[in-house]
Amino acid sequence: IVCEKFITCNGIQVYQRILEIFATDTITITKIVGLFSNIAEVEHLRIYLRTPLIIEQIEYFLLNSAIDIAYFSAGILSHLLLDEHDNRDDSVDNDHYKLISDEMRRIITLWRNPDTSMVTYRSFKPFLPLLKCQISAVQLWAVWAIYHVCSTDGARYRTIIPEEKVIETMFALLESHSNKDDLFFVQLINDTLHVLYQNCI
């Protein structure tokens, strides 16, 4: 509801202008990209983010920002890539999305997990479609996100982990990648499962 009101009040256009004015203010950028990330989690609102200008801005933040801004940017792009994979989005060139996917994967593999949580989630339900998406960079971001918040603030997620069957989903993902050569991803899934059992159960 909050995201819908934000959009109907032309909030996206206002925030785009703010991004242009405060292009070097990392605190402001983090807050705005974080809000866009919330919008991206709502399927019927993602259409408002599927514009060439917004995608260009988010892609820039992914490639040229500190980890917190890059993290939110990758999350936004993951949801947009999910739509593209499901053939619901014809507004962006598929080759461009393939390039974005490749860059996302490269950037994520370079991240070091911060000691403190960059974000909190009330539910992991928005992550479940990402974990089941066949685009590896999308899956990678979703697993990294769960690993990050559960390794830095595990107690917060003790209830929703079993309720939303996150561990079962992780095991299914691990099994689907057991015969593949993506050792980084397989190790990340195993590390995430370890964190889930250690801190969240």
Residue-level pLDDT at 102: 94
DSSP the chain: -HHHHHHHTTHHHHHHHHHHHTTT-HHHHHHHHHHHHHHHTSGGGGGGG-SHHHHHHHHHHHHHS-HHHHHHHHHHHHHHHHHHHTT---SS-HHHHHHHHHHHHHHHHH----SS-S---S-SGGGHHHHH-S-HHHHHHHHHHHHHHHHHSGGGGTTHHHHTTHHHHHHHHHHHTTTSS-HHHHHHHHHHHHHHHHH--
pLDDT tier at 105, thresholds 50, 70, 90: very high
162 has a pLDDT exceeding 90: yes
For the residues 6-15, what does the mean pLDDT come to? 76
87 vs 191, more confident: 191
For the residues 90-111, what does the mean pLDDT come to? 84
Residue-level pLDDT at 85: 66
pLDDT > 70: percent of the chain: 92
